[in-house]
Amino acid sequence: MQFDLDEDRALLKSSTRELLEKESALADARTVIEESAEGYDKALYAQLGELGYGSLLLTEDEGGMGVLAFAAVLEEMGRVAFPGPFLDLALAVRLLSQSEAPEAAEWAERAAAGEALVVLARLDATSGSPTRFTGGRVQGTKRFVPFGAHADALLVETGEGLVLVPRPGAGWNAVAQPTIDHAQRFAEVRFDDAGSLVAASDAARTLLEDADRLGAIGASALLLGLMDRSLELTVAYTMEREAFGAPIASFQALQHRCADGLLQTESTRSAVYRAAWAADETPDDAGFLAAVAKAWAGPAARYVCGQAIQLHGGVGFTWEYDPHVYLKRVKTLEQFYGATRDQLENALQSRGL
């Protein structure tokens, strides 16, 4: 038994940290989050594509490194609140690469290379009919499409299967859906566009189940990185900040909350890495373990990143300090990629309950 990453993945993780700290320290990430229209640094995504990050989530046979490596990279991205659709893009690449449709391979390649942004469009609008694919056209409305307004193609879930829709000439008929999390760019997209089927219903279901599972693990890994760094920042702040003549880190009530933060964070680490490893090695229980990881990671991260604001006191409530960036990311990640409540249900069902 061994919990540490093997040499290749450990190297990937440390070189990712180096790259991100150089190219996208939190300050830079915040500039992108707060100022860019797309919500991500296109040049940096192209660079990641060149370095092979785009196909990371593929199996080793397919030229990737698998789920564990992917989780390790996402943890690092979480630590710097790395902006953009990295997780969504990786899911699309994996999904496209598993399709046998002729267009799929080409789009997979371009997406992996960072040349094209492809993401999934899943959630139907709350009113109106479900999205359909008939006569070669996709019709319907999808909400909360991640980075949808800037996508080069969308993988749309329809009653007939999964349909690839390249951006129409006139651009998407999209409305931005800004949320609590400035790092996240959702759009509601109204479709009446030509597309091509990349997987029919049954095959689509299998692919989407895989995407759900990997999305849950990926989001959990991001949450791990977010809370890990948030706890570090918090402990460091309490060491510096003085009140009543002593660093506030010396107050037992605060110590115990930081200790709980470590319990939450390290337990998330155990759960996320185990789920990621299982997705590569023991697929039978990977669905259960992915649900466990996500159902745990969301509330854990909310606790740690919420406490970060509280223990920073007044400055924790300012825009200038970083804790809020983490809290906002956490709230969105907790709600999407399988909300906590849904993952609890998934966990029970995958145990036959």
Binding site for a copy of itself (CB under 8 A): 251-253, 255-256
Cα 334 to Cα 296: distance, rounded to the nearest angstrom = 10
Matching residue, tokens 């509601």: 188
* 167 is a site residue for other proteins (CB under 8 A): no
Question: Encoding tokens for residue 154?
Answer: 């969308």
CA dihedral 283, 285, 286, 288 (to 10 degrees): 150
User: Minimal distance in Å, beta carbon 264 to other proteins?
Assistant: 10
Number of residues in the chain? 353
User: In terms of CB distance, is 155 or 271 closer to other proteins?
Assistant: 271
* 341 is a site residue for other proteins (CB under 8 A): yes
Cα 208 to Cα 279: distance, rounded to the nearest angstrom = 15
User: Minimal distance in Å, beta carbon 106 to a copy of itself?
Assistant: 55
Question: Encoding tokens for residue 244?
Answer: 């009543």
CA dihedral 165, 166, 168, 173 (to 10 degrees): 50
The neighbouring-strand residues paired with 207 are none
Draw the binding track, 308-327, toward other proteins (x: CB under 8 A; -: no contact): -xx--xx-xxxxx---x--x
* 174 is a site residue for other proteins (CB under 8 A): no
Draw the binding track, 8-47, toward other proteins (x: CB under 8 A; -: no contact): -x--------------------------------------
Q: Which of 88, 53, 49 is nearest to 69 (CA)?
A: 53
What residue 101 binds from other proteins, a copy of itself, none (CB within 5 to 8 A, per partner kind)?
A: none
Q: What is the DSSP letter of 36?
A: -
User: In terms of CB distance, is 57 or 248 closer to a copy of itself?
Assistant: 248
User: Minimal distance in Å, beta carbon 309 to a copy of itself?
Assistant: 18
According to CB under 8 A, which residues from 107 to 126 bind other proteins? 123, 126
User: Minimal distance in Å, beta carbon 98 to other proteins?
Assistant: 24
Matching residue, tokens 């139907």: 124
Cα 302 to Cα 307: distance, rounded to the nearest angstrom = 8
Do residues 219 and 294 touch, judged by C-beta distance below 8 A?
yes
What residue 155 binds from other proteins, a copy of itself, none (CB within 5 to 8 A, per partner kind)?
A: none
Q: Which of 138, 143, 145 is nearest to 161 (CA)?
A: 138
User: Minimal distance in Å, beta carbon 254 to a copy of itself?
Assistant: 8
User: Minimal distance in Å, beta carbon 238 to other proteins?
Assistant: 7
According to CB under 8 A, which residues from 228 to 267 bind other proteins? 235, 238-239, 242-247, 249-256, 258-260, 262-263, 266-267
User: In terms of CB distance, is 199 or 308 closer to other proteins?
Assistant: 308
